[in-house]
Amino acid sequence: MLVLHAIQRGTMHGYAIAQTIHLLSDEVLKVEEGSLYPALHRLELDGAISSKWGVSENNRKAKYYTITSKGRKAIASQEKTWSRLSAAVHRVLSR
């Protein structure tokens, strides 16, 4: 869900996705390469994102990811599930 949310902000390469999540979480969350790239691959296979090769800001070859309509639908569904689960955890912890 976090990866899709980051990509929803605009087309970006893997490092930028990880940085976006890190910065938006006030530097609490850190997405490691070993988790990010398999997740991107899985999302691409599922049709939630698409990709194309390009050149990064520092003139390196990079794969750029864009969210698809299927990915936007997935975010909506995942956000509902997350809200329900996080509220349940909160109820348990507050009792």
Structural domains of the chain sorted by starting position, each given as residue range(s) with its CATH number in brackets: 2-93 (1.10.10.10)
Q: Tell me how far the alpha carbon of residue 1 is from its chain's centroid.
A: 6
In order along its 95 residues, the chain shows pLDDT tens digits of 999 999 999 999 999 999 999 999 999 999 999 999 999 999 999 999 999 999 998 899 999 999 999 999 999 999 999 999 999 999 999 99
- Spatial distance between the Cα atoms of 2 and 76, rounded to a whole number of angstroms: 12
Instruction: Count CB neighbours of 18 within 10 A.
Output: 22
Category of 68 on φ-ψ map: left (φ > 0), alpha (ψ -120 to 50) or beta: beta
pTM for this structure? 0.89
Query: Quick check: helix, strand or coil at residue 87?
Result: helix
Q: Is the dihedral of CA 4, 5, 7, 10 positive or negative?
A: positive
Q: Say what the pLDDT of residue 57 is.
A: 87
